[in-house]
Each structure stands twice: as C-alpha cells, then as structure tokens.
Amino acid sequence: MAAKFSSVICKVLLIVVTMVALLFSSGLADDGPGYEYCFLKCIDECNQTCLAQGGPAYEYCLLKCIDRYPVPQRSETHGRSEEILGRWLRARRAPRDSVVLATKVAGPSGEMTWIRGGPASLDSRNIVEAIDGSLRRLGVDYIDLYQIHWPDRSVEHGTMTMGEQSGLPESLRLLDAAFDAGVNFFDSAEMYPVPQRSGTRGRSEEFLGRWLRARWAPRDSVVVATKVAGPSGQMTWIRGGPASLDSRNVGEAIDGSLRRLGVDYIDLYQIHWPDRYVPMFGETEYDPSHQYMSVPMEEQLIALGRAIDAGKIRYIGLSNETPYGLMKFLQLSRDSQLHNNILTVQNSYNLLCRNFDAGLAECCHHERISLLAYSPMAMGILSGKYYSSDGSGPPDARMNLFKGRYSEGESRYNLQNPKLKAAVKEYIKIAAKHGISPAILAVAFVLRHPLVASAVFGATKISQLTEVLQATRIHLSEEIVSEINEVHARYPNPCP
C-alpha cells in the first residue's frame, strides 16, 4: 500500500514539475534570476522527493521537455525549457543514470517558422536536426525517451482508378512521382478499379505490384494497404458475390491480393465494408428490417489473426464502419489478443461529408484509432470542375466518364443536388479569397483534423498530385476555418 502511495506521489510531482516548467520557462515570465531559480528549485525538489522513496522503483525521476517549449511558443524562447533543464543537470551534478530525460520533436506546423522552417515535416533530416539540437541544449550525450509530439499529416495514394481511368503507363508515372515526392503509403482493394466489373477485377493491385517490382524500392520503405470486399451479391466474379466474410473468403482474398501485389506480406489489411447491414454510400438512417444473417465478427477476427500469425498481414483496418462496429471489433479483439493490431478506420471525410465527427470521432479518440480519410475532394467535386462556366466539367472527369455506371458514387455525389452545388460554390469563394485553389483548401481541411492519419487521394494526372502535395504544406488559419464552418452550418453534409 505504501509503495502504491509513493508511486502516486511521484506521478503527481512529475505533473507538477512539467506544468511549472511550462509556466516558469514561458515568455510570460521575466528572464531574471528569480524566474530561473523557481524553475530549477521545482525540478530539484521533485527529483529529491522521488529519489527519497527508496528502492529501484523510485530511483528515477522522469523530466519531460520538448524542443518547442516553452509555451506560448515564440522565436525568442524556442528551446529555453531544454536549456534550463540542461543547466540544472550540470549544476546538480546528479549521476546521469539517476535521471530519465524525455523530450519531443515538433511535428509539422507551418506556424513556428523559427523551428526548421515550420517545421515543414517529420522527414529524416528534420528529426536528426531536432535530436542534435535537443542534445546540445540539454548538454547530454543521450536522451532516454524521444517522442514525436504530433504526427506528420501524410497523404496516401489510392489506386481505385488505376486499371480503368488510368492505364498502366499513366499509373506507373503517378506512382513514381508520388514516391519521389515522399509519398510511401499506397492503398488498394481486391475489387478495384471502379466502376467494378469482371474484366478489370484486381487490376489496381496488379498495377501497384508491377510498380513495386519495377521500382526496386526496399519493401520496408513502402506501406501497402489493401482490402477484402464485403458481401455484395452483385460482384459474382469475386468468390460468388462475394457471399460473406467468413474465414474461407477472408483467407482466399488475402492470398489473392498477395499474389497480385507480388509481395510476401501486406502492411494494413482492411475490411472494405461490414458483413452486416449498415447505412452507407449516401444512406444515413438505420433500418432494422434490412438486417440479414451475417458472419460473426469473432470469425472474421480469427481469420485475420491466422493471417497475422502466418506473416501474411501485419495490421488490421476497418472501412465504412460505424461507431458500433468499431467498438464491437475492439471489444472482441481483446479476447483474441488482436487489440494492438487494429489501427485504422477508413471512412469518407471531406468538406461535404463530416459525419465522422458526429460519433465515430469520439470512439477513435479514446481508443487511439486513426482515420484514413478517403474522398478528401469528394470525387473531385470540391475542385470546382463540375461547376465551371460550361456547367458540366471536363468530359474525362470521373463523374462524366462513368455516368450511369458507378451507382455508389452517383448516389452519394448527386451533382444536381442544389445544396451540394451551393456549398461547393461557397467553398470555392473561400479558396479564391485566400489565394489557394479549391482542391488545396479541401485537402488541407481534412489534414488539419487531429484524428486523421492520412488523406487517401486518387490522382489521375500529375497536376492533381501536385495540388495534393501542396496541400500538405498549407496551414489553414482560424479565419479560414471559421468561414468553412459557417458554410457547413448552412449546408451540413450534403454528401453523407
């Protein structure tokens, strides 16, 4: 009992010293000796109290810092928290192995231009420079715990159009250009490309596999994600419908994807849509009468677990899921020792569809599940091309090229919807006002979401890829976000 109490005391003191470190090393305090003395004294007292507990469990005092502290952050005080902590270490002359030092590298921001230009990204150069800077300010030879303070907002190249809208040469050029620009996350599915048909089934995975072999990129430098198709009944060329997500179907789907991709393992394997009735692709209201006899989630997890044990897949993702589905999978995954293997949910999220924020966001936040946001430009609608002067958009645009053949897309993105049209025009005005393209505004909005790990885009032209990459370097001001939210309040989710 006493040991537990001592542990709690140490944790409380750790929180206190971290908070006081932020306060006393902030730009709000004077730079005189009183300010530094108070900070150093607080660290000293915390360390002594923790060490006084006796025994190996309390011989360390974790001292937290960060290369962007103090806060509020400004150029004149950048790194000062680390510097003061380093001065205390030298003044105290405590044995280095009696103190655990933790610090962090700042993720991309765009606001803190005094930290490596933004910082711009979490590429290898920025991480190495951040580590060297922290070591110098702390005056130590090593850091015990080094952390990423917030993630690098990445983009993920989807392959949904490859094999139909984009031929092999164009697809290889796009994948090359994306990889050369730093994109290493590629998403596919066994049913792609779309519109789906028997003659092209699996071609997107094949194209991605051909690029992987031609590129000779080290396997661990590329993240490959793909999906198993849920029950449909319409795609009879995929295992008879597919009929269900039972263990046989899941196993056969994984083996087929591995063969088409030409890889030994898949980094992230996702259930494309649930094996149960859920409203999706434009539907918003749940109708209990539509439910059917489905494969238990336990069986689906067992099949995925076997694939992990066999080294065929590494992590599990869900897609087009609901809050109930996500939480139920997580609950069952604890029993099957797969809880740490479920990482993501891939759902639609964009300026015209923010349903994720209504319930799923809370689940993802508390369960530490990341959102892979597909359709960040709402199938290109948010670029404004369908509402140009001619009123219909270019003939090679997806909604024109496959008109009448892509029911899932057309049911959600109805170009004749007056609320959709009005909302898009308002977003185009916001982009023009602030000097960026509508496409950049759309992607940058998605990437600013704290739960979004990546935006899944599907470029068919190099110019489209360029705009997406530009969006990763854009920080939307509070003024822009406020204007976006005003439009959203008037036209909420016209493309659910």
Is there a contact between 155 and 443 (Cβ–Cβ < 8 Å)?
yes
CA dist., res. 449 & res. 277, Å (int):
28
Q: Can you tell me the distance from the alpha carbon of 190 to that of 10, in angstroms, rounded to the nearest whole number?
A: 52
Task: Kindly give, in sequence order, each residue whose CB lies less than 8 Å from that of residue 285, ignoring residues fewer than 6 positions away.
Answer: 279
Q: Is the peptide bond before 242 cis (omega within 30 degrees of 0)?
A: yes
Compute CA distances 153 → 107, 379, 416, 437, whole Å. 9, 21, 33, 19
Helix (H, G, I), strand (E, B) or coil at 311: coil
β-pairing verdict for 61-64 and 99-105: parallel
Long-range contact set of residues 176-179: C-beta below 8 Å, sequence gap at least 24 = 176/211, 176/215, 177/462, 177/465, 178/459, 178/465, 179/215, 179/217, 179/222
Catalytic residue among 35, 69, 146, 192: 192
192 is catalytic: yes
User: Which positions ≥6 away from 307 have C-beta within 8 Å?
Assistant: 250, 251, 254, 269, 313
* Cross-strand pairs, 318: 271, 345
Q: Which of 63, 74, 72 is nearest to 104 (CA)?
A: 63
Catalytic machinery residues: 192
